[in-house]
Amino acid sequence: MSLLVVGSIALDSVDTLHESRDDLLGGSAVYFSYAASYFTAVRLVGVVGEDWPSEHTALLRSRQIDTDGLQVIPGGETFRWRGKYLPNMNDRETLEVQLNVLGDFEPKLPDAFRRCPFVFLANGSPAMQRKVLDQCIGPRLVVADTMDLWIREEQADLMELLARIDGLVLNDSEARLLTGEENLVIAGSKVRQFGPKFVVIKKGEHGAMFFSEFETYVLPAYPTAQVVDPTGAGDSFAGGMMGYLTERDNYDPDTLKRAMAYGILTASFTVEDFSLDRLRRIERKDLELRMDKYRRMLSFEAT
């Protein structure tokens, strides 16, 4: 099985209370791919400029990530994002965005990528996401992310997209914005009525909620004392989740719940250092160890 992801590739600058870092490897498709690579082969589609360090491509290739869909634009510059985290490490401010080559990104799937059964449309304009879908041949499971910008400014396009996908992943404030509903249990159900068979609401340090026709549940985040840089946590969550679904070649309710848990645990590693630095130091067995702890944490006998 393999998993296709189309999304942003970035050079990030991150300010936290304790430390600032520039020119970090980042972007939704990068975090997603690396997280998913613990579980499955990944096919990455995205765009970078001539300033893109070739060692970043080499790093992705060193995992099971196929970068044949990486467009390098001659004379172009890579998308850049600069953000600052508030002391609570959950809220952040975007200080600067340079779209650069991402502004004109025309996703083009290599022929070999078009029949990927599992597809993730990382954050991007709904119009761009639909162009990806148009190139996919018979995908089994299509899941998308979105953001406040598209909810506010491209709502009609977004609604068309929602009617075509199987799952939507979005964060709590986006779910509230999209539905006008403060209660997340209600908001999640309302999002599902726009089309997706399932909806995942990410709550940052508070975990994630799942909604389908059959069930509504919430799983907490894995408690970590070491939150260094939350950038990419949401994309790592999606990568862990979709990676596991692809590995199992299945998305029944039990598999989806385990996938949610793997997503949460993959993200719990991501936040423990800048960029991919923490993920680079772990192996699949570290995810499994944390999974054992997480399952024990959430289990108790009835009396």
User: Which stretches of the chain bind a second copy, using CB under 8 A?
Assistant: 87-89, 182-186, 189, 203, 205-207, 209, 216-221, 223-225, 227, 248, 254, 257-258, 261, 291-292, 295, 297-303
In angstroms, give the least distance from the CB of 225 to a second copy.
Answer: 4
Please list the alpha-helical segments (H only) found in 212-283.
233-248, 253-270, 277-280
Nearer to a second copy, 79 or 251 (CB): 251
| CA dihedral for 82, 85, 86, 92, sign (positive or negative) | positive
Spatial separation of the C-alpha atoms in residues 182 and 191, rounded to whole Å? 13
In angstroms, give the least distance from the CB of 258 to a second copy.
Answer: 5
Phi then psi for residue 29, to 5 deg, are -70, -30
Residue type, 1: M
Give the CA angle between residues 219, 223, 228 to the nearest 5°: 120
In angstroms, give the least distance from the CB of 263 to a second copy.
Answer: 13
Nearer to a second copy, 62 or 193 (CB): 193
The closest of 120, 110, 114 to 135, measured between CA atoms, is 114
In angstroms, give the least distance from the CB of 222 to a second copy.
Answer: 8
Residue 106 · residue 37 · CB < 8 Å:
no
Nearer to a second copy, 77 or 286 (CB): 286
Nearer to a second copy, 156 or 300 (CB): 300
Spatial separation of the C-alpha atoms in residues 202 and 113, rounded to whole Å? 28
In angstroms, give the least distance from the CB of 206 to a second copy.
Answer: 4
Nearer to a second copy, 54 or 299 (CB): 299
Query: Looking at residue 229, what DSSP letter applies?
Result: -
